Amino acid sequence: MPANPDSSLTTFVLIIASVLLFVASFWSARTLMGTRAATTFAALALPIGWFAEEMGSSRGWFFGQYSYTDVLGPKLGNVPLVIPLMWFGLTWVASVMASLILWRTPVAENRTSRHKVIIALLAAMIVTAFDLGADPYFIRVLHAWIMQKTNGGWFGETRKGFVGWMFVSFVIVMGLLQQARPAVTQPVPRKTRLAALVPMIVYGGFTVFQWVFGDPIETRPVAFFAMGIPLLAALVAWQRWPQEPATQKATPQAAWPLDEMNMLADPLADNTVSAIMETTGGDGGDATALARLGQASKWMGQWRSNGELPDWTPADAQADPAVAQCLQAYLAQGSALPEWADRAKIGRAEALFMDQGPLSCALLFCASLPQCYVLPHLAEVLHIAGQLEAHTEYRVRQTAAMIFPVMMKGGLTDPDGTGISQVLKVRLVHATIRNLVLHGNPAAVRGVVAPGAGVGPQGGMNQALMAHGWDVPANGLPCSQVDLAYTLLTFGYVFLKGMRTMGLYLSQEDEEAYLHTWNVMGHVLGIRDELLAHSMEDAALQFERIQAWGRARPTQTDVRPGLGKALVGALARAIQVPVVQRIPVPMTRWLIGSRAARDIGVNLRVSWWTRLLFGTGRFLAACVDGVLGLIWPEFSLSRMLTRVIGYHMLTHFLLDQTRPIGLPEKTLNPMRSTMAAWSSDTRAPPWLQSLERSLTSQQAWGQPAAAARPVN
């Protein structure tokens, strides 16, 4: 470019170049992350870039005192409109390059806060490396702005300006990393690879320009090395991305047909319930059959520990021997763990649950349970079986009452544990739902089941199930193998994915041990072994496949929004602090994703204060964790905040003496001991523990809510 260009031509060229930079960067971001994430990033980068420049040009913040000329075109306030476009383009380019250099992927998903800080720091350095040559050229050749201090130490630019570029770039990239989710499939399409290459093409163009036209001439070798080194490293990483072969590895879950599995249920449990309900003079829907079913349900409450199951006999002297024999045969076949159960992995998962207890509960309530409602026909079964809109808190507490016995120490493996007994109860509940909805054994029903005559939903759960009716050819079986496999994933995979979303990462061994433990539970629950996912990759594939399949199936009445709204309403009532009471709404949307949130109606409007508090809290916690985590690896403000939310939910749903949970003391005592051990986060510094106690309770968490009053 000539040294004294015509000002109008220069302005035109600069505006066109800035718009092209923005368009190319936005296309790259949209291709790699999706339209929503790219738009969110633009909505973040543009105002932050404008604000930083406005404060710099008017008050001397960040970059020193300076003023823009008319060379860069129209202004908003004191800042030319092209400047925010440059901030967006450069920070996107730098973030892609930094992610490629560090992790060999253009969008770094599932990284800890420390990792995000490192990415943001490297990206800020890449942006500032560009500024080393660009600022002198803009000042000396283009006269785009005038520095008040002309002897700043770098060819007309001040050293303070480079600190400002580092800081503002760091903030923008950290904001990007908080919501970055790669929209990448395997194998990676050519368009996606091009979108990842575009940032290097842009940065390479800047490098060549500064090397050829840089002014003063001393900046040319600086640009070559300062910009060329990260550019070369990013290009090499791009060539090696993706690291895995282009062909997607086949998985067992990809092999079985969903429609076929949707017509399969649980023969052992179904035959047991069917045998219990058989009578000598009528069908399974008459009063005698329901009475026998009620007797069986009552006796299931006597299953108190794993070791008692093989030799269980009813304590009632007036026991119906036929019902007792059905239950005994069921326990004999169903109470054994699978041969592939690994006690070491189960012990590792139990330790993980113990270590992450309050966080586990928060993820259960704000991620696992909401994801259960995404499949329309599964949600319909939950709706008619549990009347969840009217009894949401009861159903939440019953779900937690199953998870605690399974995940507490020895829950599945020790004779004194109670996990197997609780799971076998739930398994029979599923079979009862199927038998009542279908008016018979699911193995023998393949047509349309008409609603039961003379019964209505007002008569209780059993009557509501029999009154509903079911279209088996269109819907498959209620609580089918697909439904069960998906629900299992919500408790195992969704929990681990939620940990990743929050920046709290586990080792691959821990993740696989956690999945293994839930697979063991799934086997006891009656899920076929070939439907179990053994790695996060397999689990993600299966989860997404089932969700897509479920969404594509038509349904006459969508009950999901009612279930979702009732759930987040119950979660909000669990938090007594008014300012943060609605936090479960944005937290649930964040953890399960915008589409799932829309599916289940968790798109409720919350106050701007709640949205600001949640978004700002997420950003600041990630920054603080990332920076302090470089010094104290165990420090986590995010963990403390999640523990606080988990505490309020635990005390509301599980420890309220006015609403006993209904578990035997043999289960409740270890549960209280487990919660008491969660009272103090030993990895947190004393001052952070003190802050947590001020937001939860000064006493042991295991005490009932009536005895341990939370301090709000």
Last residue of one domain, picked from the residues 551, 576, 599: 599
Asked if the structure places residue 280 within a domain, the reply is: no
For 537-559, how does the pLDDT look when each residue is reduced to its tens digit (9 = 90+)?
999 999 999 999 999 887 778 88
Domain stops at, among 578, 599, 620: 599
- Enumerate residues 6+ apart whose C-beta is below 8 A from 234: 96, 97, 100, 101, 199, 200, 203
Query: Do 222 and 359 have their domain in common?
Result: no
d(CA 416, CA 682): 28
What are the residues whose beta carbons fall under 8 Å from the beta carbon of 200, sequence distance 6 or more?
Answer: 93, 96, 97, 231, 234, 235, 238
- Number of domains observed in the structure of the chain: 2
Same domain, 545 and 420: yes
Tell whether 480 is covered by a domain: yes
Domain end among 239, 255, 284: 239
Question: Which structure tokens are listed for 18?
Answer: 């800035």
Instruction: Give the per-residue pLDDT at 385.
Output: 65
Residues 64, 205: one domain? yes
In a domain, 396, yes or no: yes
Answer yes or no: are the C-beta atoms of 652 and 705 closer than 8 Å: yes
- Whether residue 643 is contained in a domain is answered as no
Sign of the Cα torsion 260, 263, 266, 267 reads negative
Do 684 and 640 form a contact (C-beta atoms < 8 A)? yes
pLDDT tens digits along 147-162 = 877 666 676 667 778 8
Closest CA to 244 of 188, 183, 194: 188
The answer to whether residue 45 scores a pLDDT higher than 70 is yes
Residues in Cβ contact with 463 at an 8 Å cutoff, skipping those fewer than 6 apart: 452, 455, 456, 457
Residue at 676 is within a domain: no
Average pLDDT for 483-491: 95
Q: Which whole-number Å values give the CA distances from 181 to 192, 597, 673, 704, in the listed order?
A: 14, 16, 39, 40
Say whether pLDDT at 457 is over 50: no
Residue 660 lies in a domain: no
* Cα–Cα dist 565/405, whole Å: 28
Mean pLDDT, rounded, for 387-415: 78
Reported as a pLDDT band with limits 50, 70 and 90, residue 175 is confident
| Least reliable range by pLDDT among 132-136, 165-169, 506-510, 555-559 | 555-559
Report the range of poorest mean pLDDT among 117-131, 138-152, 414-428.
138-152
Indicate whether this model's pTM tops 0.85: no
Q: Decide if pLDDT at 711 tops 60.
A: no
Mean pLDDT value across the chain: 83
- Helices 536-552 & 508-524 angle (0-180, nearest 10): 50
- With 60 as the cut, is the pLDDT of residue 401 above it? yes
Q: Which residue range forms the structural domain that includes residue 371?
A: 337-599
The stretches of 71-189 forming alpha helices (DSSP H) are: 82-103, 113-140, 159-179
Count H helices and E strands in the chain, helices first. 31, 8
Q: What CA–CA distances, in Å, run from 174 to 40, 93, 125?
A: 13, 14, 13
Beta pairing partners, 79: 76
Residue 444 predicted with pLDDT over 70: yes
The pLDDT of residue 282: 39
Task: Say which range, 131-140, 203-212, 475-484, has the weakest mean pLDDT.
Answer: 131-140
**Side-chain half-sphere CA neighbours of 688 within 13 A:** 20
Q: What is the pLDDT of residue 22?
A: 96
């794993």: which residue's tokens? Answer: 306
Position 503 pLDDT exceeds 50: yes
- SS3 for 589? helix
Structural Rg of the chain based on CA atoms:
30
| pLDDT at position 663 | 61
pLDDT at site 87: 96
* % of the chain surpassing 90 pLDDT: 39
A 10 A CB-CB count for 591 gives 22
Q: What is the pLDDT of residues 671-708, one digit of tens each?
A: 777 777 777 787 788 888 888 888 887 777 755 544 44
pLDDT of residue 666: 63
**Which range is most confident: 100-104, 390-394, 461-465?**
100-104
Q: By C-alpha distance, which of 213, 196, 212, 206 is closest to 228? A: 206
Task: Out of 160-169, 180-189, 294-303, pick the least confident.
Answer: 180-189
Tokens of 194: 């091009």
Distance (Å, rounded) from C-alpha 121 to C-alpha 117? 6
pLDDT range class, residue 53, cuts 50, 70, 90: very high
The residues, ordered by sequence, that sit 6+ positions from 97 with a Cβ below 8 Å of its Cβ are 123, 126, 199, 200, 203, 230, 231, 234
Average pLDDT over residues 524-538: 94
Instruction: Provide the pLDDT for residue 635.
Output: 79
- Using one digit for the tens of pLDDT, what is the confidence trace for 190-239? 889 999 999 999 999 999 999 999 888 888 998 889 999 999 999 999 98
**Shared domain check, 164 and 47:** yes
- The whole-number pLDDT of residue 612 equals 81
Spatial distance between the Cα atoms of 51 and 40, rounded to a whole number of angstroms: 17
Answer whether residue 284 shows pLDDT above 50. Answer: no
pLDDT at position 186 over 90 = no
CA torsion, ordered 497, 501, 503, 506, to nearest 10 deg: 0
56-112 tens-digit pLDDT: 888 888 888 889 999 999 999 999 999 999 999 999 999 999 999 998 889 876 667
Residue 306, in any domain of the structure: no
Flag whether 686 is in a domain: no
Give the per-residue pLDDT at 656: 64
